[in-house]
Amino acid sequence: MYEVEVKVPADLERVRDRVIELGATELGTVVQTDTYYDAPHRSFAETDEALRIRRERSIDEQNAEANVTYKGPLVDDESKTREEIETGLEDGEAFDAVLKNLGFEPAATVRKERERFELEAFDSYTITCDAVDDVGEYVEVETIATDADLEPAREGAFEVLEQLRLDPDETVQTSYLGMLLEE
């Protein structure tokens, strides 16, 4: 499976107003704290891969859920489409210890407040309004696709951006981690 994602810088208040105007369903707001790791056997920066533990909690809750995600290299120059493998963790702290004992080192932590929406007309796409600490405000449109569906999924994501009155030519391929490290 592939995650097809397009991301643009945006004024989140304006986008929220537009999403509501389009009749979107709010899926909730979460705080995500992503810890990214460097591998002892290869450079993820060179291979364009990522390994992270994500801790996520609802804005009004203290308990966090955790998962581990591997992201493969980008598969095109137009979007942030890449293979993604993710699974839940019962104990994020224990898995962090496993990684460190295997020689993986924490590289950076990205924290963001993320509001999720779904438009009925685009029910397979999630729209997120991200306020990312030390990086800025961005809107992401994403979906999951198979090899055969990559191009239509990417085109659909650009259509959603246009419905939000955002410019597909302003898409950013750099991850939040990359942006944070550039600072």
Domains belonging to the chain, first-starting first, are 2-182 (2.40.320.10)
- List, in sequence order, every residue forming a beta bridge with 41; answer none if it has no partner: none
Instruction: Encode pLDDT of 137-181 as tens digits.
Output: 999 999 988 888 888 989 999 999 999 999 999 999 899 999 998
- pTM for the model stands at 0.87
pLDDT exceeds 70 at position 123: no
Structure tokens at 49: 């891969």
DSSP state of 115: E
For residue 64, pLDDT over 90 is answered with no
* 44-64 mean pLDDT: 90
Residue 147: the pLDDT is 82
Q: What is the mean pLDDT of residues 128-134?
A: 97
CB of 151 within 8 A of CB of 75? no
> Which amino acid appears at position 152 of this protein?
P
Q: Is 36 among the residues known to form the active site?
A: yes
Average pLDDT over residues 37-51: 94
Other C-beta atoms within 10 Å of 40: how many? 10
State mean pLDDT over 51-62: 90
| Strands in 11-150 per DSSP E | 25-38, 50-58, 65-74, 82-89, 105-119, 122-132, 136-145
Q: Which of 2, 36, 125, 176 is catalytic?
A: 36
